[in-house]
Amino acid sequence: MSCMNLKANFSANRVKPRGPQSRVCSSIGTLDFSDHREIKHLRIKTPKLEPIIDQNFLTPNMAEIESPRHLVNLLRTAGDALVVLSFYSAACGGCRALQPKICEMAAANPSAIFVNINEDRQGKLCRGLHVRVLPFFKLYRGSQGRLCSFSCTNATIGKFKDALAKHGTDRCSLGPAKGLDDEEMASLASLDLIPENYILSNYYYY
């Protein structure tokens, strides 16, 4: 239950529930629901999460996903380029520690496309793609579609480097870029992030 727009009675020592019309919120104390005329005066400040990606280190082959449609379009128009999806959150310490190295690897692999997906803003998209731990990565390429997925930290960054070395070599796909696989598309459709009967025109989603 949200603590916003409620009248708060603050206790200096301990929180004591005040009957059937009271609720306890761990952050502000006992809340009295009985007087609805004055609840509008309460305002709760929530911490602002700052972006973790330093704009000074962004490279031309890095992009930030703005919507599920944006992701579908990007993957299906990437051609033979290796696409690395990087899922992160501003509240994730591991993501903050790893991000500078991700930027370095993006600069060292200009033919690959590094795509950042902010879980704070695209949480429903992350759930649709079955991302349950951060930082998390998924690699896609050409007609092969999804190649692998894994989580890693600074301590296991070798896993990321090995995946780039294995899947980043020059190659030519015999067919258009596949993008998300059928299961992933069905999962996004089940969350109403894309329509079930989506229309494709030249492998582009509208």
Active site residues per annotation: 92, 95
Encoding tokens for residue 154?
């600074």
Encoding tokens for residue 161?
């480097």
Are 140 and 148 a contacting pair, CB within 8 Å?
A: no
Write the Ramachandran bin of 141: left for phi over 0, alpha for psi from -120 to 50, otherwise beta: beta
69: three-class secondary structure by DSSP: helix
**Secondary structure element (H or E) that encloses residue 117, with its range:** strand 113-118
Q: How many residues does the chain have?
A: 206
Are 150 and 163 a contacting pair, CB within 8 Å?
A: yes
